[in-house]
Chains A and B, each alone.
Chain A
Amino acid sequence: MASVDGYDAVIGLEVHVQLGTESKMFTDAPYYFGASPNELTNPVVMGMPGTLPVLNKRAIEKTIQVGLMLGCEIPQVSKWDRKHYYYPDMPKNYQISQYDQPLCLGGSVEIELDGPSRNVMGEHRRVSLTRIHLEEDVGKLTHVADGSLVDYNRAGAPLIEIVTEPDIFSPEEAFAFLTSLRNTLQNAGISDCDMEKGQMRCDANVSVKPVGTTKLGTKVELKNLNSISGVRNGLRYEIDRQIRELKAGATIVQQTRRWDAEAGVTSLMRTKEEAQDYRYFPDPDLMPVRISEDWKSQLAEGLPELPFDRQRRYMADYSLPYTVTSVLCSNRQLSVFFEEAIRQHNNPLAIANLITNDLLRELGAASSGSEVEDGERRSLDSLGVSAVGVADLVAMVDKGVLSNQMAKEVLSGMIATGQSAEAVAEAKGLRQSSDSGEIEAICRQAMEENPKAVQEFLAGNEKSINAIKGRVMKATQGKANPTLVDQVLRKLLASG
């Protein structure tokens, strides 16, 4: 627990995630991002009199899958309730949601806290969840000079709400939680979780209490936290504000505050006295859902390995360094690419390094200028290099055909032309020499030209061999296989 000025913070999050289904939650109207305003509507979406909702089975399945991944209990029966409030973005003036019988109960999300340095894995722990329920999204209001415009495209899109216990104790933990949750959901194809597109949204409840006490302080709800770093920054500000208030002798009033990312402050939206009575009651238009063990096991079968489990496996099975696995496991596409490549050529470390260093650098260059946040929106496909192509490239290095330096050049060529490693190397005339007879002759000559280095090496100065190697590489214009050069030189030096 990170204490600040004698106070501890206690945080709970409510995370909304849009499920990437083709159609909406209660009707077959399509849903996708970027359509013209009110294009994705029909009489059901618009809440026209007489229309009725019907359940989207795929959305229920995806929610159950999220619950299974996060270790939730999936009750046998789940039901639908109406939550009432008046707002122009909600066509029926009630939202179909789940009140007391959600699809998922309990569960937890594994998070990684910051390690002592970037290269060292931090401590892992699990943040407990209260529940996950499924509901419909609302539309979007845009305020203009002479009124407000409503776009109902988003209205009725399937939305899950993931509610944590007050089990997060710093803004950094909240950041780690959201990062882990997003990786897990992206990894399983549940949602793209793009916060800029509103596919993932987060509200936070935060309170502070004196260190060593157990009674929770009065909570404040934070809204308008529009990015993962926005959550962290908003919480940092709010915790400081509450401690400042308490130190000044004031009491915290239960309230909802809005984070202003530009100004870097939170401001009051409403206090508890103005809280709404949602008048929940079971939606009479929808029957409860029964979830059989069979259905659950079918859904469990389709689930991928969790990102942290995968990372542990990469470290254990392939002896990959932590930093490399962090990158590989931050993105499903990368790990799928990696695993396909090592099936083709079994050198996990070299392939992992090539992906995380060279390929991602190329990707960064290719996508610089576009809006990229935390690895979102990058696509390996855009480079036009296949996993097999990368495997072949590494295999050429391992066979001594290419040096590491040459491999980088070949990779650039592959990206530029879309050709195979073999073809690019051929076209560029990149091929290191592994003819030992030829190399031995060049090595002998280099030793003769550097008697001083030879003497020093024989006197025990190991590094002096590098000077001779440099001569050899220069003479061969860098095409000699450095491993072979090293072997030949040592043999010649040893034989005097």
Chain B
Amino acid sequence: MNQDSLAYLPASKLARLLASGELTSVELSRSVLERAEHLNAQVNAFLGWDGEDLMAQAEASDKRRKADKALGFFDGIPVALKNNIAVKGSLLTCGSRMLENFVSPYDATVVERMKAAGMLVWGRLNMDEFAMGSSTETSYFGSTANPWDLTRTPGGSSGGSAAALAAGMSPITLGSDTGGSIRQPAAFCGIYGLKPTYGRVSRYGLVAFASSLDQIGPFGHCVEDVARMMEVLCGVDPKDSSSYPAPVSPFHAELELALTGGRPMVLGLPVEYFKEDGLDPAVRRAMDEVVAYYKGIGWQIKDVSLPNSHLAVPTYYVIATAEASSNLARFDGIRYTHRSESASDAVDVYFKSRGEGFGEEVKRRIILGTFVLSSGYHDAYYLKAQLVRTLIRNDFSKAFGEVDLVLTPTTPSPAFVRGERITDPLQMYLNDIYTICPNLTGLPAISVPCGFASQNLPVGFQLIAPHFEEVRLLTAARAYEKGNDWHTRHPAL
């Protein structure tokens, strides 16, 4: 098989080919490498990779398969990571000049888990600097293109992860999601992206942007890929106090079971989200079709109210920036970061190194976050935002008393043109309007491809479930996938 025939096969399909012996991990990895080498100049999804290391891992995997000692379903499948997830001995730049030369001395817990499952961890994917952005344009290493239209953004901050998968450059990828950074690029690139319940997946080794909002999650070509990847990633971690000991079940099997044996579900449409003037007609039309589909399979659609949803964006930008200003304090020019060569004394090292090492958007958020935590402003901003966060959480609790899942658009519009919004932060922030609430509330959410706007641009919808109800989320996504084939379409590259 050549690179193009393998490129868009779902990871679970590839894993079955590996298991049946029709394909080797070496063949697969070679094709992945060839395609990445061929396409990355156009897409710039990858910041870099170590091909030799990937091939060595593939050979080891094939040996295990031959000896009948495969470590798991995904043994031999390459997985590429957003470059804010630590891999021992590999650059961990976070898309920033600040960490341009920083090599991680340790593995993130998710990396340990993937390696233990026999997966081939490879490739560093581009991202908005320190995950701050919605277009992958704030990366110090250049922006990433949307494989569907290279003049457009793949979204962000996990734009590299979404673009690489959508372009068939890696069968599965990981991103991180603080306010929509997995779901928004998934929607823009026509693929699945899941943000797990806060505490489901260990954050140890994920460079923190906003600790109370960050979660690692997978991108995949189909629901099964996402479900099976979650089985590898999930689990309590003694190194992360915020990880929660929820049972990890075989999600992929459970969702099929739920689909055949379960009752029809009730989906809630937040009335406030459809009043928004900013909702693109193409997205609205796609949503109507999604609603019609679910009704068609006998599911119920109900209006729900999230009365505080208009406060989500300002609340998010207070909490996320406050935590970021603290988390990014460690990048100071003293130990492992960029250090200004022109600094004259210790204080100057701080000022100049941070001034040179951070980009505009990161600086803007550090300044904002520092301000909202400052004495005299702390109560009016940070404390107030925490109170509103509770109100938003209560809105969802109330909604989940009436419906099984909440259904929303993932983004107000399809992918926008690169450079179009980078000078208008407010416009950029409003892109996260539907994706922010699951982070503020810790709820799991998935973006599902659901059609195309004009110019062949993908559109996605979002499902939000109660805490730790990932199976319910995946079941609903799978119910949609069964009757639609949007996820099987791929960009012409």
Binding site for B on A (CB under 8 A): 43, 46-55, 82, 84, 86, 88, 91-94, 148, 150, 277, 279-281, 284-287
> Which residues from A are CB-within-8-Å of B380?
none
Please name 18 pairs of A and B residues whose Cβ atoms are closer than 8 Å in the assembled complex, sorted by A: A43-B105, A46-B335, A49-B92, A49-B94, A50-B104, A50-B108, A50-B206, A51-B106, A52-B242, A54-B241, A55-B241, A82-B326, A84-B373, A148-B346, A277-B374, A277-B375, A281-B322, A285-B211
Within 8 A of A (CB), among B75-91: 84-86
Contacts of A94 in B (CB 8 A): 326, 329
- B202-221 interface code vs A (CB 8 A; 1 in, 0 out): 01111110111000000000
* Contact indicator B241/A53 (Cβ below 8 Å): yes
Complex A-B, nearest 4 residue pairs according to Cβ-Cβ distance, in ascending order: A93-B329, A284-B211, A284-B212, A279-B373
Q: Say yes or no: is B425 at the interface (Cβ < 8 Å to chain A).
A: no
Measured in the bound complex, the distance between the Cα atoms of B374 and A47 in whole Å is 23
- Alpha-carbon separation in the docked complex, A363 to B330 (Å): 49
Q: Does B73 contact A (CB under 8 A)?
A: no
Is B470 at the interface (CB under 8 A from chain A)? no
Is B350 an interface residue when CB atoms closer than 8 A count as contact?
Answer: yes
* Interchain CB contact under 8 A, B105 and A48: yes
Which chain B residues lie closer than 8 Å to A88 at the CB level?
Answer: 332, 334, 346
Residue among B105, B208, B238, B330 with the highest chain A CB neighbour number at 10 A? B330
Select which of B323, B331, B332, B335 is within 8 A of A284 by beta carbon. Answer: B323
In the complex, A91 Cα to B239 Cα: how many Å?
Answer: 19
Residue of B nearest to A27 (CB): B239
Residue B240 CB within 8 A of the other chain: yes
Q: Please state if A52 and B106 are interface contacts (CB–CB under 8 Å).
A: no
Assess whether A281 is in contact with B382, with CB atoms less than 8 Å apart.
yes
Q: Say yes or no: B329 contacts A281, CB within 8 Å.
A: no
Tell me the minimal C-beta distance from B280 to chain A in angstroms: 34
A-facing residues in B235-278 (Cβ within 8 Å): 238-242
The answer to whether B241 and A286 have CB atoms under 8 Å apart is: yes
**Which single residue of chain B is at the shortest CB-CB distance from A86?**
B350
Which residues of A have CB within 8 Å of B378? 279-281
Tell me, in angstroms, the Cα distance from A234 to B241 when the chains sit together: 43
A43 contact set on B, CB distance < 8 A: 105-106
Q: How far is the CA of A91 from the CA of B325 in the complex (A)?
A: 15
Q: How far is the CA of A48 from the CA of B106 in the complex (A)?
A: 9
Bound-complex Cα distance A126 to B204 (A): 46
Q: Is the CB of B240 within 8 A of A52?
A: yes
Q: How far is the CB of A136 from chain B (nearest CB, A)?
A: 14
A97 to chain B, nearest CB (A): 13
A52 to B109, CA, bound (A): 11
**A145 → chain B closest CB, angstroms:** 15
A84–B106 CA distance with the chains assembled, in angstroms: 26
Tell me whether B408 is interfacial, beta carbon within 8 Å: no
Interface centre among A46, A49, A50 (most CB of B within 10 A): A49
Q: Which residue of A lies closest to B208 (CB)?
A: A50
Which listed residue, A49, A84, A287, touches B207 by the CB 8 Å rule?
Answer: A49
Number of contact residues on B: which range applies?
A: 35 or more
- B169 → chain A, closest Cβ, in Å? 24
What residues on B are CB-neighbors of A150 within 8 Å?
Answer: 334
Q: Which B322-342 residues sit within 8 Å CB-CB of chain A?
A: 322-323, 325-326, 329-332, 334-336
Q: CB-CB < 8 A to B331: which residues of A? A: 49
Task: Decide: A84 and B211 in contact? CB cutoff 8 A.
Answer: no
13 other A-B residue contacts (CB within 8 Å) besides A52-B203, A84-B326: A46-B335, A49-B92, A50-B205, A51-B106, A54-B238, A82-B326, A86-B329, A88-B346, A93-B332, A279-B325, A280-B373, A281-B322, A285-B242
B452 located at the interface, meaning its Cβ lies under 8 Å from any Cβ of chain A in the complex: no
Contact with A along B98-118 (1 / 0, CB 8 A): 010010111010000000000
Q: Which residue from chain A places its CB closest to the CB of B214 in the assembled complex?
A: A284
- Contact, CB under 8 Å: B330 / A47: yes
A49-B102, A284-B212, A286-B241 as given contacts; A92 in contact with B204, CB under 8 Å:
no
- CB pair A84–B334 under 8 Å, yes or no, is no
CB-CB under 8 A from A277, the residues of chain B are: 374-375
B126 at the interface (CB under 8 A from A): no
Q: Does B413 contact A (CB under 8 A)?
A: no
Give B96's nearest chain A residue, CB to CB.
Answer: A49
Chain A residue at minimum C-beta to C-beta distance from B347: A86
CB pair B374–A287 under 8 Å, yes or no, is: no
Residues on B with beta carbons closer than 8 Å to the beta carbon of A280:
373, 378
Contact indicator B326/A50 (Cβ below 8 Å): no
Q: Is the CB of B241 within 8 A of A285?
A: yes
Closest chain-B Cβ to A496's Cβ sits at a distance in Å of 91
| Residue among A48, A92, A148, A279 making CB contact with B336, cutoff 8 Å | A48
* Smallest CB separation, B346 vs chain A (Å): 7
Chain B residues with CB under 8 Å of A82's CB are: 326
**Most B CB within 10 A of own CB, among A91, A92, A279:** A279
* Contact (Cβ within 8 A) B99 A49: yes
Q: Is B441 an interface residue (CB 8 A)?
A: no
Find out whether the CB atom of A50 lies under 8 angstroms from the CB atom of B238.
no
Knowing A49-B86, A49-B92, A52-B204 are in contact, say whether A279-B106 is a contact too (CB < 8 A).
no
Contacts of A46 in B (CB 8 A): 335
Known: A277-B374, A279-B370, A287-B242. A50 touches B92 (CB 8 A): yes
Q: Are A279 and B330 in contact (CB under 8 A)?
A: no
Q: Assuming A93-B332, A287-B241, is B204 touching A51 (CB within 8 A)? A: yes
- Check A52 against B241 for contact (C-beta < 8 Å): yes
- Which chain B residues lie closer than 8 Å to A48 at the CB level? 86, 104-106, 336
Chain B nearest CB: distance from A435 CB in Å?
74
Task: Please state if B204 and A50 are interface contacts (CB–CB under 8 Å).
Answer: yes
Report the minimum CB–CB distance from B297 to chain A (whole Å).
40
B322 to chain A: which residues have CB within 8 Å? 281
Tell me the bound Cα distance from A237 to B297 in angstroms.
Answer: 86
Q: Which residue in chain A gives the minimum CB-CB distance to B203?
A: A52
Report the Cα distance A153→B128, complex, angstroms: 35
A62 to chain B, nearest CB (A): 19
For B108, the closest partner residue in chain A by CB is: A50
Q: Which residue of B lies closest to A48 (CB)?
A: B105
Contact B326 A52 (CB under 8 A): no
Closest Cβ of chain B to A144, distance in Å, is 14
Residues on A with C-beta less than 8 A from B206 are 50
**Which of chain B's residues 261-309 have a Cβ closer than 8 Å to chain A?**
none
Chain B residue nearest in CB terms to A49: B207
Check if B92 sits within 8 Å of A281, measured CB to CB. no
Given contacts A48-B105, A49-B86, A281-B373, is CB(A91)–CB(B330) below 8 Å? Answer: yes
B56-85 residues with Cβ-Cβ distance < 8 A to A are: 84-85
Q: How far does the alpha carbon of A18 sit from the alpha carbon of B166 in the complex, in Å?
A: 54
Q: Which residue of A lies closest to B373 (CB)?
A: A279
Please, which residues of chain A bring their CB within 8 A of the CB of B242?
52, 284-285, 287
Given A49-B330, A284-B211, A285-B242: A279 in contact with B204 (beta carbons within 8 A): no
Flag if B374 contacts A279 (CB, 8 Å). yes
On whether the beta carbons of A84 and B105 are closer than 8 Å, the reply is: no
Complex Cα–Cα for A400 and B397 (A) = 85
Which residues from chain A contact B104 at a C-beta distance below 8 Å?
Answer: 48-50
Q: How far is A50 from B106 in the complex, measured between Cα atoms in Å? A: 10
Which residue of B is nearest A55, CB measured?
A: B241
**Minimum CB–CB distance for B158 against chain A, Å:** 16
**Which residue of the partner chain B has the closest CB to A51?**
B204
The answer on a CB contact under 8 Å between B241 and A92 is no
B334 / chain A contacts, CB cutoff of 8 Å: 88, 150
| Contact in complex: B207, A50 (CB < 8 Å) | yes
Cα distance, A281 to B94, chains bound together (Å): 25
